Structure formats: structure tokens, C-alpha cells
Amino acid sequence: MNRSFLTKFAWLSIAAALVTITLKTAAWYVTGSVGLLSEAVESLVNLFGGMMALAMLTIAAQPADEEHAYGHSKAEYFSSGVEGGLILVAAVSIVVLALQRFLHLHSLESIGQGLLISLVASVINLVVAIILLRAGKKYNSITLEADAHHLLADVWTTVGVVAGIGLVALTKWNWLDPVVALAVAVNIIWTGVRIVRRSVGGLMDVALPPEDMAAVRSVLKTYEEQGIQFHALRSRQAGSRKFVSTHVLVPGDWAVQRGHELLDKIEADIRRKLPDATVFTHLESLDDPASWDDQSFDRQLP
């Protein structure tokens, strides 16, 4: 499936980031709140993340070629990994700003106006995040999902900042502003770590999630009831693409044509359960003892 259309969601993320950077910078300017400044910094990270997503989605949409026989879908992991790293960098910068504010506390200005601007920016992020999350799940794009979760973290961050600044307005405790900024940083770090871990897992050829493997085993079980056996079932995820391989053991007196037709049917049934899967099967004889010697990942040569 041609996935080049997914870049339109990256453009949407970039546009949202530009708008929210402008709004949150304005909110910081009128209030002087380091909490709102931390939000503007995070929106800047959103912009870089959106640009990276655009680049990697463009690469991932390219068809397989001689040098990349399995396609370019893993490029999406680079995007989500870089975005996770940028999130962590943003968190460190927020911590530095908050600690500086602890040393130089001052009262906030035009709090109501600043909070209104920030809330408008948050609504924009929420709408775009929902769109990206739905598209990411529908089209199995880790890039769009990572971008969406980042924006959702931004929304919750805004809620925390607004609550903190509201408390400052009520209590006149100016130290609450940098405290909220530090809490924002912790939240951002947690989001960044999760995104990086998922990206690393994909680059390391992590197995398909349990629900997908359960779907594959349900297909194999129907054939096991007919006397067919399986072993060496393996899987891996590469961006939007899923790979499944297994050895199929049939009676030794079967004709090659009959075995070939069975493999085609098994592969088709698995693809119906996992539409994005590429399935590899290997036919073996139930009557040959050597068929049971190749279940390990690295088969030992005789």
C-alpha cells in the first residue's frame, strides 16, 4: 500500500506547532511565567518532531528496491526516536529555566490574558493529537502515534501549568510557578523515555504484540486439528510492516504440489488476520527426524 498520503498528517502537525509556538510565546511575554515559557519550548520541540516525521514518512513510503528488499518502513523508528530525544532535551532546558527562576522569583503579569492564550493553544494541540492518534492506529504508523502522544502530553502539561499559575494568582506564592515547571519537565521526561524505548524496540526487531501472535496461533490451530504441525514460529515488526515465519510439517508422502497449495492457504489465512503482514513458510516432513533439528534461531549445520 502506498503510504505517501500519511505526510499530510505531518504537515498538519507542523502547522499546529507553528501556531502554538506563537500563542505560547505570546502568553509567556504577557505574563513572564517560566511555566508558560516551558510550554513554548516544548512546542518548539513539536515543530522539530513534525519536520522529522515528514522526512521519515516520506522515506518510509518509498517502495522496496534492490538495496532495501524489505522496504523502508523502519525509517519511522528514526523519527520517533529523534522526537523522543528532543523531548528529553526540552525537559532539561525546562529544568534549567525553573531552577533559575527559583533564584530570581518575581510576580506574574496579566495572568488572565496569558492563561486564555495558552488554553487556545492547548485546544489546537488536543484536536490535532486526536487526528494523529486515530491515523496512527488506523495505518499502524509509530511516527504519527509518537507525535500524537507528544501533543497529548503537551495538553496535560498545559493543564498543569494553568492550574499552577492559577494558584499563584490566588495565593501570591510565586515559587509555585517554577515548581509547576519542574513538574512539567518530569512529565515530558516520562513521555520521551517511553517513545525512545518503543523506537529502540522496533530497531531491534521486537516481536509482534501478544494480540497479533494470538491471531496467528488461532489460524495455525485450525490446521493442527487436521494433523498439520508447526514449529519455529517467529515474528518481527518493522514500522508499519509485520513479518511472520513458521515451519509447516506435513506427512512425508505428500506430493510437492499438495504441500505448496497448503502453504499458500496458510499464508493467505494469516494475512487475512494481519493485513499488513508478510508471511514466510517452510515445508518439512513429519517423517524426517531432521525436521525437528532446526527449531532454534541459528540452525546448526551437520
Over residues 270-287, mean pLDDT: 90
Length of the chain: 302
The pLDDT score that the predictor gives to residue 265 is 95
The pLDDT score that the predictor gives to residue 298 is 57
67-126 confidence digits (pLDDT tens): 777 777 777 777 777 777 777 777 777 777 667 766 765 555 556 677 788 788 889 989
Residue 174 has pLDDT above 50, yes or no: yes
Query: Are the C-beta atoms of 250 and 259 separated by less than 8 Å?
Result: yes
Report percent pLDDT > 70 for the chain.
84
Which residue would you say has higher pLDDT here, 164 or 268? 268
With cell 515548581, the residue in question is 179
Under the banding of pLDDT at 50, 70 and 90, the label for residue 138 is confident
**pTM of this prediction?**
0.63
The pLDDT score that the predictor gives to residue 87 is 72
In the chain, CATH 1.20.1510.10 covers 4-203
**CATH code for the structural domain at 4-203:** 1.20.1510.10
The pLDDT score that the predictor gives to residue 35 is 63
The pLDDT score that the predictor gives to residue 107 is 58
The pLDDT score that the predictor gives to residue 218 is 94
201-228 confidence digits (pLDDT tens): 777 777 888 999 999 999 999 999 888 9
The pLDDT score that the predictor gives to residue 81 is 79
Q: What integer best gives the mean pLDDT of the chain?
A: 80
The pLDDT score that the predictor gives to residue 282 is 92
Over residues 158-179, mean pLDDT: 71
Instruction: Provide the β-strand partners of residue 277.
Output: 242
11-24 confidence digits (pLDDT tens): 998 999 899 888 88
With cell 500519511, the residue in question is 6
In the chain, CATH 3.30.70.1350 covers 210-292
Over residues 191-205, mean pLDDT: 77
The pLDDT score that the predictor gives to residue 64 is 75
Q: What are phi and psi of 66, to 5 degrees?
A: -65, -35
Architecture, CATH, for domain 210-292 = 2-Layer Sandwich (3.30)
d(CA 115, CA 166): 9
The pLDDT score that the predictor gives to residue 230 is 93
Under the banding of pLDDT at 50, 70 and 90, the label for residue 301 is very low
The pLDDT score that the predictor gives to residue 2 is 62
281-297 confidence digits (pLDDT tens): 999 998 888 777 766 65
